[in-house]
Chain A
Amino acid sequence: MRQLGLARRLARHRGAAVGLLILGALALMALAAPWLAPRDPIRTAPRAALQAPGGAYWLGSDQLGRDVASRVLHGARISLTVGVIAVTIAVVIGAPIGLVAGFYGGRLDALVMRVMDVLLAFPGILLALAIVSVLTPGLTNVMIAVGLSAVPTYARLVRGSVLSARENLYVEAARAIGSRDPAILARYILPNVVAPLVVTATLGLGTAILASAALSFLGLGSQPPQPEWGRMLSEGRDYLREAWWISTFPGLGIMLTVLGMNLLGDGLRDVLDPRLNT
């Protein structure tokens, strides 16, 4: 019943509805890429290099004669997967840390939060860069690096929610009737954590996709000939003068994906937590 209510409220929220529409279309494209793509995204055709959009190649062909449309479609698969895995890593590690630190407090909390403060001292993409440099470049390591670098964000967020939830009278009541810690955590604390976590994770998906594409753009992520959007942009950079389409369409793909996540995330925040509404 509550699920239905949430879906309906999201559909009524203009931003969230647009975001869902964009993401739904992208997810469909990603799932159906092998059938939708007119050509093999990896096979080269030197004679058909640098064809302008329209005609045989809707979105043109790149410097090796690969079909840009097919590569962009398959790229949606890679970007969405990378984003989801990175955020999953961040949530799976960060949320329990915040949960435990916030619930038990004391020295454990102080220690954990100092460690998180140190990790937050590396701004933006710098922490992910440092982790990739340790793990060596590659798409898998980019997911791990982007995921790990977002752990402090989730740990702090969850800890904050737990700290405020812990003060509720019903938690004290549960303790008074003899509930054990794990039961209190699961039944009374966790529900308070879920809403902000879902909002942040949705917005975090956009950030993770941006960061992963950026690392691939820098040459630290996906390796050729993978049709990854960030990589395609960096390859297209050298042909900007004669073939703008090589870098333009993957860039549009990244932007639409992130825009969809941001719209949905903002909408979720409005719907799930009216108190945060600004």
Chain B
Amino acid sequence: MLTWILRRILAVVPVLFGVTLAVFSMLFLVPGDPVKMMLAEFVTNPDQVAQMRAQLHLDEPILTQYGRFVGGALRGDLGMSIRSRRPVTTEIGENLASTAQLALAAMLVAIGLGVPLGLLAALSRNSWLDLASMGGALLGVSMPSFWLGLLLIFVFSLQLAWFPATGGGDLRHLVLPAVTLGMIAAAIIARLTRSSMLEVLGQDYVRTARAKGLGGFSVVVRHALKNALIPIITIFGLQFGNLLAGAVIVETVFSRPGLGRLIVGGILNKDFPLVQGVVLFVATVYVLINVLVDVAYAYADPRIRFTRA
């Protein structure tokens, strides 16, 4: 087990290396001169351009630049934002808690809504309940989060005045964004729970459990659901990444501080170091979370360790 975990962690190193390379090369893929693009809205004389180039170390050989980028990233130094003139790491640190809070709350919404809904649908297969939950899930998958967010603001903030429409802060500010962000993941989890549950309910061991006289609840929860949830664990990692990325949109809808607002502002301001820093950070977190999910998966399903190792 330990070797398997170690191997899985080591496998991440080349991916993260590739991620740094991809993020680093962003600056070189800009059509034209990135420095001039970043300075576009300001008075530009050759001195300023040269100064900026030196500040970003763009006057050095590429390999040196890349070494500096990776070395800095490993030490937690992602350079300076060219707009706020503050370290990118500081900017990320200030916005991280808000986004993490949102993503976790959205995950709770997704699981709390998705698993019971999928379970209900599977247990009442082909009934109106099944049809309604799966229809709802299909709507959820097709719903643009920014539209759902606006609808929720309209109903629950402007009409009913239950929750604040915008801003961050206390838990009341968290409810609408979390529901907005969690809804798509909830729909996906509901669909997966249903199909996984249907598959498990057809297995021999469920029939055995029923045959030995166990009641419906015991069979469903102890024998079926526990096994049906295993494949669902794998998509938690994927869904968590989608939640992190989806936060970009939801934070903008609700004017909520966070990494999403940070990166959108960075793109609009052509603040490349900031954009690169946030992209690198989010991708790294996503990759690491997937490792954790894999380890959890192997723990939950011993078959994985022996076949995939």
On A, residues with C-beta under 8 Å from B are: 114-115, 117-119, 121-126, 129-130, 132-137, 206, 210, 213-214, 217-220, 230, 233-234, 236-237, 240-241, 244, 247-248, 251-252, 254-255, 258-259, 262-263, 278
Contacts and interface: CB of A to CB of B under 8 A. Distances in A.
Contact of B150 (A115, A214, A240): A240
B18 A137 contact: no
Nearest to B18: A118
B284 to A, nearest CB: 8
Contacts of A114: 14-15, 18
Given A122-B283, A218-B248, A244-B154, 19 more contacts: A117-B15, A121-B15, A123-B245, A123-B283, A123-B286, A125-B248, A129-B248, A130-B23, A132-B267, A214-B249, A217-B249, A219-B264, A241-B158, A248-B151, A251-B147, A255-B139, A255-B142, A258-B144, A259-B142
Contact of A130 (B15, B26, B158, B286): B26
A142 to B, nearest CB: 12
Interface in B258-309: 263-264, 266-268, 272, 275, 279, 282-283, 286-287
Given A118-B18, A133-B26, A123 B267 contact: no
A117 B143 contact: no
B150 A220 contact: no
A278 B228 CA distance: 14
Contact of A263 (B18, B138, B153): B138
Contacts of A206: 142
- Interface SS of A by simple majority: helix
B65 interface: no
- Interface SS of B by simple majority: helix
Contact of B158 (A234, A240, A248): A240
B151 A251 contact: yes
Given A134-B29, A137-B267, A219-B264, A255 B248 contact: no
A262 B26 contact: no
Interface in B150-165: 150-151, 153-154, 158
Interface of B: 14-16, 18-19, 21-23, 26, 29-31, 37, 138-139, 141-147, 150-151, 153-154, 158, 195, 198-199, 238, 241-242, 244-246, 248-249, 252-253, 263-264, 266-268, 272, 275, 279, 282-283, 286-287
Contacts of A119: 22
A196 to B, nearest CB: 18
Nearest to B153: A240
Nearest to B165: A240
Contacts of B249: 125, 214, 217-218
A137 B196 CA distance: 41
B31 A135 contact: yes
Which 5 A-B residue pairs are closest in the complex by CB-CB distance? A123-B241, A124-B245, A251-B147, A118-B18, A259-B142
A161 to B, nearest CB: 21
B37 A136 contact: yes
Nearest to B191: A278
A248 B275 CA distance: 31
